[in-house]
Structure 1
Amino acid sequence: MRLIASAALALTLCVSSFASPAMAAPCGNSSAGFDTWKADFAKRAGRAGVKSAGLQALAQAQYARRTIAADRNQKSFRYSLEKFMQIRGSATIVAQGRKRLARHADFYAALERKYGVPAGVLIAIHGMETAFGNYMGDSQIVSAIVTLTYDCRRSEFFEPHALGALKLVDQGAITSATLGAKHGELGHTQFLPGNALKYGVDWDRDGRVNFYDLEDALASTARYLQKRGWKRGKGYQQGQPNFRVLKEWNAATVYQQSLAIMGRQIDN
């Protein structure tokens, strides 16, 4: 077991010192330089406003080998649309989604009134991402997202999300032990932490945004889509104004197409 307390103290102390970009610890493609990089990242995190709890979580972060393996092996997005939808269980998502819409019609109507996003899209996202909350991940969010930020493949993309995760720790929204997907996504609809921090909604008004609470998660998802350009009352099938907003949720074309198809079937 690592000496977590000592590592945390070292990381906290180094926040006050300034390192020039030329001296920044490099990214890496193995665990070899991870601890050195974390010490350097703690300085950047401190300058970005991360507090002691977030820095402690950074100190405790472990190199996530399963996350790296998953990041190197994303085969499903190479499938045809038909194969992708079959693998993801689209027929089941639609059938269950219609039942959920019927049971909670008032909730989804309230979301659409506020954010302009129809139920079908939100329900399809919920079904695709976590099978309606039945599987929200088995990887420690902070370790996963910090590892991806250290990894050379997409460091720049993941850094805002690593900082977001550490700030969510500061806010008490998650801890270093909170579980999510292998790429650090969290909650019912698998928000990346930076987006969770920016777009989170306390729908049930209990004083905190909880992405593991269904109402908060779906309201946050609706707000995210609204802020990314969703046009109230406009269509979301291919060629229609809101289809491009689905790319803001997931960059894979087959994913966007699947959401559009399932969303329409649920809404109808």
Structure 2
Amino acid sequence: MRLTVRSLPLRPALARPALSLALSLALALLTSPALALTCGNTGAGFEAWKAEFAKVARRQGVGKRGLDALAQARYATRTIAADRNQKSFKYSLEKFMQVRGADTIVAQGRKRKARNPEFYAALERQYGVPAGILIALHGMETAFGSFMGDSAVVSAITTLAYDCRRSDFFIPHALAALELVDRSAITGATKGAKHGELGHTQFLPGNALTYGVDATGDGRVDFYDMTDALASTANFLRQKGWQPGRGYQPGEPNFAVIKQWNAASVYQQAIAIMARRIDS
């Protein structure tokens, strides 16, 4: 199958100019006594929290579809279990690459690049990000789209926003998920990873809203379409400071940008190693 990438300006197709301001205002609202949100460590208070969160969402302009998706969200026990048990990031680099199938990702990644070189070349021309990086991320995140998750995105992300452990981090992403529903980018039933990441490269909803690109030109950003997803990934990296033509190994300029994608050191190193092998 031949994939194409439309020539697009270097700007996010889904982003609102005032997104950061809106989310900042939302977080400010959370400190208001009238709209204080009560986090919890069990599912017992989730329904009451949703009612509180709906008030914040309405004030941020979330419409009927987004609010309906929130109302239908369920406390995601598997998400909480996964959040408490992220063992793989504690492995050594060698063990991490073995567990995550690095050799298979590289072998399959080289074949994918060889089958459709112009697709990846077009992305690099537009965003400056080489094929190896995009392919390594695609392989690491979803085995090239073969498994994009089995958890309802809205339920997962609102559960994490409610959970006391990292509610401040996930609340903006929960608001973004509801806006994505409003924009028909996802629905309340859309499946993703257990932490609410979605699509081929597992964007968190806030990043999807901000960096999403309609590379196919069909008027919709679809993170479950490989072309849109990889263009959005390249756009994310470019907007985070990717320097075209510069290196991406540890100590080189673009390695710092890989850190913006995932905070785990073993993940960052693995991506850099696999990308170099794919690009070689």
The bucket for the TM-score relative to the shorter chain is: over 0.9
Counterparts of 2:46 and 2:168 in 1: how far apart (Å)? 16
Letter of the 1:236 partner, please give it. Answer: Y
Equivalent residue, structure 2, for 1:159: 171
Query: In structure 2, what is the equivalent of residue 51 of structure 1?
Result: 63
CA–CA distance in 2 between the matches of 1:94 and 1:209? 28
* Correspondent of 1:120 among 132, 144, 161: 132
> 161, 167, 170: which one pairs with 1:149?
161
Give a deviation string over 1:204-257, Cα, whole Å, max 9, x none: 101100000000000000000000111111000000000011111000000000
Task: Determine the C-alpha separation between the residues in 1 that align with 2:129 and 2:250.
Answer: 16
Residue in 2 that maps onto 1:28? 40
- What is aligned with 1:3? none
CA-to-partner distance for each residue in 1:23-66, whole Å, 9 max, x for gaps?
Answer: 42310000111111111111111111211100000000000000
Q: 1:95 to 1:42 in 2, by over 3 A?
A: same
8 A Cα contact 2:180 2:209, kept in partner: yes
1:62 aligns with 2:54: no
Kindly state the Cα deviation for residue 21 of structure 1 after the two structures are TM-superposed.
1.9
1:134 aligns with 2:146: yes
Q: Which amino acid aligns with 1:65?
A: T
After superposing the two structures, state which structure 1 stretch, 21-30 or 199-208, moved more. 21-30
Q: Which SS does the other structure have where 1:162 is aligned?
A: helix
Higher relative contact order (CA 8 A, sep 6+): 2
> Which residue of structure 1 lines up, in the alignment, with residue 270 of structure 2?
258
Identity of aligned residues (%): 71
Superposed CA offset, 1:115-154 (max 9, x none): 0000000000000000000000000000000000000000
Work out whether residues 30 and 37 of structure 2, in 8 Å CA contact, stay in contact via their aligned partners in 1. no
Q: Tell me, yes or no, if the aligned pair for 1:25 and 1:36 is still in contact at 8 Å.
A: no
Q: 1:84 to 1:19 in 2, by over 3 A?
A: closer
- What amino acid does structure 2 have at the position aligned with 1:181? A
SS at match of 1:73: coil
Please, which of 164, 181, 190 is the counterpart of residue 202 of structure 2? Answer: 190
Aligned pair 1:223/2:256, yes or no? no
Off by >4 Å, runs of 4+ in structure 1: none
**2:244 alignment partner, one of 203, 219, 232:** 232
In structure 1, the residue matched to 2:23 is none
Counterpart Cα distance in 2 of 1:19 and 1:121: 38
* Post-superposition offset of 1:114: 0.5
CA offsets 1:49-89 (integer angstroms, 9 cap, x no match): 21110000000000000000000000000000000000000
Deviations, residues 83-110 of structure 1 (Å, cap 9, x unaligned)? 0000000000000000000111101001
* Separation (CA, whole Å) in 2 of partners of 1:85 and 1:122: 17
In structure 1, the partner of 2:104 is: 92
Unaligned runs of 5+ in 2: 1-28
Q: TM-score, normalised by structure 1?
A: 0.92
- Would you say the 8 A contact 2:132–2:275 is kept in 1? yes
Residue 111 of structure 2 aligns to a residue whose secondary structure is: helix
- Of the three residues 102, 114, 121, the one matched with 1:102 is 114
CA RMSD across the alignment: 1.1
